[in-house]
Amino acid sequence: MPELPEVEITARRLSAALEGATIESTMAPGINALKTFDPPLHALDARQIEGLRRIGKHLVIDISGELKVLVHLMSAGRLQLYDKRASLRDRTSRLLIRIDDGRELRLREFGTKQRAWVKVLTPEGLANDDAVASLGPEAWPDPPEDLAALLKPVGARPLQAALRDQHVITGIGRSWVDEILWTAKLSPFKRANELDADEAGALRSAIVERLGGAIDHYENVVTLPIPDKLPLPLEVHRHHGEPCPRCGTTIEAVHYEDYVLCYCPEEQTGGRVLKDRRLSRLLK
């Protein structure tokens, strides 16, 4: 799933390319993707795109006349700008915003799980929409100063789960939580309500460093057209079995049904290799 850095660079690149562009017409071939009807999608026709921005992992397209298009890419959605318009037989298309100069802003989604969604909203509707109103504070560029206090109400949930909860802090997902916790030298299974002041400070610094560093990396390497798969600058996540970049210890992993958690046992779990959920099930 695209996380804060990936959504941020998408918003920046598309905003620069589309600011001031006039919408000729709109279509929603993936009818399940459109989650609102008032204002209707065609209310966007003949209006101008004022820019794109990010809220958490969501994209917002600001449209003249005080209309907003809220987009959530979910796991397999991509918002991309094309010089030519899509064929209506393109089964990946979920939303088409056709520009009067022939370009097309296209929401595509890969795979069979059609979960990406779009809402056309007023400013009040955007502020009050559950997907936005329920979000926690932004993880970047200025996460809360006192993360220990923020995480205290979360209780005994492990850090790797608490930091991915968008109601607690917004923008971090499965890839970047591994990178952040490795940078902070914190166990992914440390209880969220047990952070001391030093650990909370290290965690905040790691969030700023890793998310900001990823965005800086993308600024240097990502241009339009935005690729389907961005070159994520990951050091731990997806590197199971490789040496830790800092200490050389083999990076270990815990496998879940639909994702993998990676960590350095030497620096994060006191030398302890955590039980792999796949092996646990086989041994029962």
Q: Can you tell me which residue has the tokens 């994060």?
A: 268
Predicted confidence at residue 282, as pLDDT, reads 34
Q: What is the total count of domains within the chain?
A: 2
The values of phi and psi at residue 23, to 5°, are -80, 125
Mean pLDDT of the chain: 94
- Domain-located, residue 142: no
Predicted confidence at residue 277, as pLDDT, reads 61
Give 104-125 pLDDT, tens digit per residue: 999 999 877 789 999 999 999 9
Question: Domain check: are 67 and 192 in the same one?
Answer: no
Question: Domain check: are 228 and 124 in the same one?
Answer: no
**Which tokens hold the place of 131?**
């997907």
Predicted confidence at residue 283, as pLDDT, reads 34
Predicted confidence at residue 278, as pLDDT, reads 56
Enclosing domain of residue 52: 4-133
Residue 27 sits in a domain whose CATH number is 3.20.190.10
Residue 171, classified by CB atoms within 10 Å of its CB into exposed (0-12), middle (13-18) or buried (19+), is buried
**Which tokens hold the place of 223?**
């241009």
Amino acid symbol at 240? H
Question: Domain check: are 182 and 240 in the same one?
Answer: yes
